[in-house]
Chain A
Amino acid sequence: MRDKVVFHVNGKRVEFEGNPMTRLIDILRDDLGLTGVKEGCGEGECGACSIIKDGKLVTSCIIPVGAADGSEILTIEGIKDTPKGICITEAFRDGGAVQCGFCIPGMVMAAYALLEENHHPTEEDIRMAISGNICRCTGYDLIVSSVQLAAERGGELWQ
């Protein structure tokens, strides 16, 4: 039996009729062309493929598409032109958070998920929130301070 899986990605309805065990990341990247979702490990260890599913930060490489049925999914493409997305990406740019960039869309998603919940995160809160996202380039300090910058600059945006 092959049920149809229906969900929303960045506000658009997506219908999928295929093997429900197909990895969500493959649907996002290959079928929908959302290549801002990066694959760094394919096993839930690096966070490069982070997306927000029903308000929660998850790694799309270990989620079968079947488990996305009925959900609302946000990828970097869905937030980058929103005021919040612009706030975070500009803070990352100005704060020197970006090096090779491969981890960065996932980091932006992690920052987004954090700031939605916690408008005034401490350094510790931020380190915890991005602890599932591996960055091999930056040593994290400038990512952490850039998230702080986004929280400060965003102000009311996050209320």
Chain B
Amino acid sequence: MPAHERLTAAIVTANDDNRPALVPFITAGYPEPGEFINTLRAIAEVGDVIELGIPFSDPMADGMTIQRSSYVALQEGVSLEWIFGELEMAGVLGTPLVMMSYLNPLLAFGYERLAERARATGVCAFIVPDLPYEECEELRQALEKEGLGLIQLVTPATPRERLKMLCDASRGFVYAVTITGITGGDAGLPDDLADYLDDVASVAEIPVCAGFGIRGPDDVANVARHAAGAIVGSALVEVLEEGRDPKAFLRTLGGK
């Protein structure tokens, strides 16, 4: 089965267990490159799918927390090449991985090589926040050759016809951005979130995971009634930043 279907299966398994899939996000190699694999193993025990952020110099869709973690990781020499090397050494994690990267590091790496290395290291799909559907064909094809998916993002600003197109094009899951804004906001989830997520779910034929602004157990519970999974990014990165235990934090949110 193509790798992106493993992703879908992991989410469905969680839902069959009567709980939302928990998708922790970390910036790869942050805060300590030496701790990367240990951190990954720890969160793999709780998370159903792991989203790995590839640091980039111009994270235009990210708030302060992820900007900061990206900056530090780059200072520490973290690169795609290094990340793949670490994943190869770590061996099979058991939990499917998704990579979140801005386009330019992927372009520089080369799409074909990217897809091969990704498949070989347990990466099932990519999320590329600055690659809208209209520009994605070349990358989508390269990934598809290796059975990898390109996950599409939808937002509250996405018009209805476009929503259908994006949901149909997405592989693994559909990433529903909860807010009109960047990551790391603490303004809380919008009041009309339920209607929006229900809308996306009604259009999508694969599971929908909600992300942006999900910080604690209440947010996860709030989202769980209307989406198959919850993506937790900035809040987890802050836990790592403060040197707290990521596994303990994720346990407060659910997970496997």
A and B are partners in one complex rather than unrelated chains = no
